Structure 1
Amino acid sequence: MGLKKYIGFSLLLIIAISLYVYSVESGSYEITILDYTMQLPTVLWIIIPVALLFFFSVLHLIFYGSLNFFKTRGFIKDEENIVELIKASLLEKEEKKKFKTQAFKNLASILRQLKFDTKDTTFTSKDEELNNIVSLIKDIKDGKYVTDKNFRLDEKSSLGKKNLINKVNEQIDFAVDILKKQEQYDKEVVKAAFFNVLENKSMTTVKKVYTNVELTKDMALKLFLKDVDNTDFGLTKEEILKITKELNYTKEEFITLAKLYKNTLNPDKLLDLFETLSNENEEAAGAYFYVLLELEMIENLNDLLAGYKDDEFKAYRALLDLKQAGKHYSIDDITTI
C-alpha cells in the first residue's frame, strides 16, 4: 500500500471511530494526576491515542521509505557509473567515479584492473554512447582515422597512437609535418610517418626531413632502399657515414649495405664509400673486402688481408684460394663470413 493510500484510509478510519464513539458517548471524561485535573470529551480520549499512533506510523513509513529511496537511487547511480567506467576503460582514459554501494565498489575495483577490448561481432546495448565508442574503436582497429570530437582520445594511449598512425597513413602531408616536429610525438607514430614519407614522397623531400628523425636500424634500412632507387638525388657519402656511425652498424649490417649499393653506385663511388667506412670503423672491413671481391680487385684484397692474422676473414681467403685454382665463387655462396 502506498503512503498516500495509507494516510487516506487511516484518516477515514479515525473519522469513523470518532463518529461511532460520539454516537455512543457524547459526554466528557475527567482524569486527575496528582494535583492536575484534565477534562475532555470522551471522543478525544479515544481519538488522541489513535491519532498519535497514526502520526508516528506515518513518520516510520516516511523514514524507511526515504532510506529505501536513497538506497535504490544509489544502486541506479552506481550502475550508471559502472557503464561510464567501462566507456573510459575502452577509450583508455582514467575514470575517477565514486561508488556508494559496497557491491559496486568491489566491482569497480576489479574492472579498473582489467583491460577491455572489443570483438569483431556486432555490438549492441541500450547505451547509445557506448555503442558509438565500440564502433569508433573498431574503425580505428580497421585502419581508419576517427575525428569524432565527442570522444577525445589521449594521444599517449595505444588507441590514440593507433588513431594518429591511421591519420599518418591517410594524410601524407600530415606525415611530413610529424617528421618536422617529431619531438612532439611518440616514436611509433614518427616511425609510421617516416615509412609513409619514404613510400610516397620524393628523395628530395625525404632528405629535407629525415635528419630531424632519430633513426632506428630498420628505418635506416628503408632509407637506404629508397636511396638505392634514387641515385641522382640520393644520400651523400657523408650522410651514409653519419647514419651507420650513429647506429653502430655491425659487420653483417655493413655487408648488407654493400650488397644494396653494389649494383647502384658506380665502381669508383662504391669503392670510395666502403674504403672510407672501413677506415673509420673496423666493423666495415668485411664489407670493404666484399666490394673488392665484387670489383675483382684481387691484388688489393690480398694486400689488405696480409695485414690481418691468418685466422681472420677465412671466407675471403678461401675465395681467393679458389680463384687462384680456377674456381669462381662469390662471397654470397658462402653462408658464414
Structure 2
Amino acid sequence: MGLKKYIVFSILLIVLVFGYVFSIEPGEYKVTVLDFSSLTLPIAIWVILPVVILFIGSVAHMMFYGFKSYLKYRSIAKDEENINESIKAFLLQKPDKSSYKTKSFKNITNILSQIDFEVKDASFTTSNEEINKIVSLIKEIKAGKYIQDKTLKLEPTSKLAHQNLLNKVNAEIDFCVEILKKPMNYSSDVIKQAFLNVVEEKSMTTVKKLYENVTLDKEMSEKLFKKCAKNPEFTLSNEEVIKITKNLDYDKNDFIKLAKVLKESYQPDELISLFEELSKQIDCSTEAYVYVLFEFEMIDVIREVLSSHPDADLMAFRALIDLKDAGKQYSLESLCYKS
C-alpha cells in the first residue's frame, strides 16, 4: 500500500471510529494530571487519540525511511553516473576525480584504478554513446591515425597522448620540421621519428639546416648518409661527416657500411678524400679507406697505406694484393665485407 492510500484510509478509519463512538456516547471525560492540570474532551476524542498518535507516528516512520531510501537511491544513481565518468578517465589514461557515496562503487572503482584498460580489436558496444565514441577514437589512435577531436582531452603525459603525437608526426611533415626546430620540447623517440620523416620527405637543404639540432643515433645517421648519397650535390662536408661518426663511435664495420652507401653516387675524388681524412682522425676507419681505394683500383696508394701499418694489420687487403700480384682475379666482395 502506498503512503497516500495509507493516509487516506487511516484518516477515514479515524473519522468512522470517532463518529461511531460519538453516536453512542456523546458525553465528555475529564482527565486530571497531578492535581495541577486537567483536560476535558469528548469521549470519542479520547477513544481515537491513541489511534491518531499511532497514525502520526507510523506516517512519520514511513516518511523517514522513505526519505532515507530516496537518498540512498539518489546516491546509487549518482554513483552509476560517476562510474561511467571513471571508465572514461581510465580509458583515456587520466586521473579519476569522481567521488562516490556508496561503499560498493568505491570498491569497484578502486579495483578498476589498478587495472590497465586495453581496448580490444573486436567490436565494442555499450548503451553509453560517449564511451562508444571514446573507444572508437582510441582504436583509431592505436591503428596509427592522428585524432584531432578535442572531446578526448587526452592527458598530455599518457601513453595514449604520446601515441597520438607520434601519429601526428607521421601524418604532418611540417609538424616534424617544427619539432626539429625546437626538439627540447619533445621526447627522444618523437624527435627520432620526426627526423627520419624529414630526411625521407624534405630536401637535403632543409635537412642540413635541422640535423644539428638533434642527437643522432646510428639509424638516424644511416638515413642521413643515404640521403647524402642521393643528393651528392648538396651533401654534407667532410668535416660534418667526421663529426657525426666521431660522436657515434663508429667501428670499422660502420665505416665500411658508410663507404658502400656513398660509393654509388660520390665522385671518386670526393669519396677518397673523405675517407682519407677519416683515416687520419679515426683509426678504425682505415679499412674503409683501403676498401674505397680498392673500389677505384688505386693499387699504388693502397701499397703505401699498407706499408705504413704493421704486417699484422689489414690482412684481408694484403692477401688481395698478393693475389693480384700472382695474377689471381678476386674481388674484394668475394673475400670479405659482404653485405
Superposed pair shares fold, TM > 0.5: yes
State the distance in 1 between where 2:142 and 2:162 align.
11
What is residue 135 of structure 2 aligned with on the other side? 134
Alignment of 1:1-337 (within 5 A): 1-36=1-36, 37-334=38-335
Please give the secondary structure, in 2, of the residue aligned with 1:30.
strand
Question: 1:283: Cα distance to partner?
Answer: 2.6
State the distance in 2 between where 1:206 and 1:292 align.
29
Could you give the per-residue CA deviations for residues 47-86 of structure 1, whole angstroms, max 9, x where no partner exists?
2221221222122212222222222222222222222122
Q: CA RMSD in A?
A: 2.3
Which residue identity lines up with residue 246 of structure 1 in the other structure?
A: N
Residues 238 and 67 of structure 1, relative CA distance in 2, 3 Å threshold: same
Residues 96 and 254 of structure 1, relative CA distance in 2, 3 Å threshold: same
State the distance in 2 between where 1:101 and 1:181 align.
49
Question: 1:223: Cα distance to partner?
Answer: 1.0
Question: 1:91: Cα distance to partner?
Answer: 1.6
Which residue identity lines up with residue 173 of structure 1 in the other structure?
A: D
State the distance in 1 between where 2:154 and 2:126 align.
22
Question: 1:310: Cα distance to partner?
Answer: 4.7
Which residue identity lines up with residue 296 of structure 1 in the other structure?
A: E
Residues 86 and 322 of structure 1, relative CA distance in 2, 3 Å threshold: farther
* 318-327 or 61-70, which deviates more: 318-327
Question: 1:22: Cα distance to partner?
Answer: 1.6
Question: 1:240: Cα distance to partner?
Answer: 1.0
Residues 334 and 101 of structure 1, relative CA distance in 2, 3 Å threshold: farther
Which residue identity lines up with residue 74 of structure 1 in the other structure?
A: S
State the distance in 1 between where 2:96 and 2:271 align.
59
Q: Which runs of 5+ in 2 are unaligned?
A: none
Question: 1:299: Cα distance to partner?
Answer: 4.2
State the distance in 1 between where 2:53 and 2:2 align.
20
Residues 306 and 102 of structure 1, relative CA distance in 2, 3 Å threshold: farther
Question: What's the TM-score once normalised by structure 2's chain length?
Answer: 0.90
Question: 1:239: Cα distance to partner?
Answer: 1.4
Please give the secondary structure, in 1, of the residue aligned with 2:153.
coil
Question: 1:330: Cα distance to partner?
Answer: 3.6
* 203-212 or 161-170, which deviates more: 161-170
State the distance in 2 between where 1:208 and 1:73 align.
63
Residues 74 and 334 of structure 1, relative CA distance in 2, 3 Å threshold: farther
State the distance in 1 between where 2:335 and 2:102 align.
72
Checking the alignment, whether the CA contact within 8 Å between 1:156 and 1:186 is kept in structure 2 is no
Question: 1:230: Cα distance to partner?
Answer: 0.4
Residues 319 and 60 of structure 1, relative CA distance in 2, 3 Å threshold: farther
Please give the secondary structure, in 1, of the residue aligned with 2:39.
strand
Checking the alignment, whether the CA contact within 8 Å between 2:176 and 2:194 is kept in structure 1 is yes
State the distance in 1 between where 2:25 and 2:334 align.
128
Could you give the per-residue CA deviations for residues 182-201 of structure 1, whole angstroms, max 9, x where no partner exists?
22223232222222222221
Question: What's the TM-score once normalised by structure 1's chain length?
Answer: 0.90
Residues 242 and 34 of structure 1, relative CA distance in 2, 3 Å threshold: same
Please give the secondary structure, in 1, of the residue aligned with 2:41.
strand
Residues 27 and 240 of structure 1, relative CA distance in 2, 3 Å threshold: same
State the distance in 1 between where 2:269 and 2:226 align.
20
Residues 329 and 68 of structure 1, relative CA distance in 2, 3 Å threshold: farther
Question: 1:127: Cα distance to partner?
Answer: 1.3
Question: 1:302: Cα distance to partner?
Answer: 4.1
